[in-house]
Structure 1
Amino acid sequence: MVSAGAFGQHYMKFWQSIITAELSVALARLSDLHLSWLNNVAASGIVIAAAGVIWLVSDHMAWDPLLMLKKKWSGST
């Protein structure tokens, strides 16, 4: 049986992978448009900043939405 904490970590990693994939697609689309090098550098900076936010949320915060819902459904606080 998987613990709630392990399931929450898996849940966050799942969303992290989706967000990372979406950012990769967005960056690829910008590259396909053959925009100026400045726009490509700016897009890369946005991807790096978003990756930093994802890392901060997934690794350093004790935010577990599934655990919060479980507590709400069970009536405990």
Structure 2
Amino acid sequence: MVRVQTESGMRIVQTDEYKGHKVEVVTGWDAASDKWPVHIYIDGTKVVGQWLADRMEEAFEHGFTIATQEIDQR
């Protein structure tokens, strides 16, 4: 996987392709929880779940790991 950052600022987005599927991981620092929430989309469809990370890098690592597991289970 070769991640590309497509958005930055309040909403930070990285995209990649895995086994022919477009994977998009979105995060941004949340002041209320002092965490980085992780949102995962596969081919434009949001993966159901709630994940929080302590660091931005961790948010992207978790997001792409979860996405690859989801795709592998299909």
Q: TM-score under structure 2 normalisation?
A: 0.29
Structure whose CA Rg is larger: 1
More helix by share: 1
- Larger strand share, 1 or 2: 2
* Relative contact order, higher structure (CA 8 A, sep 6+): 1
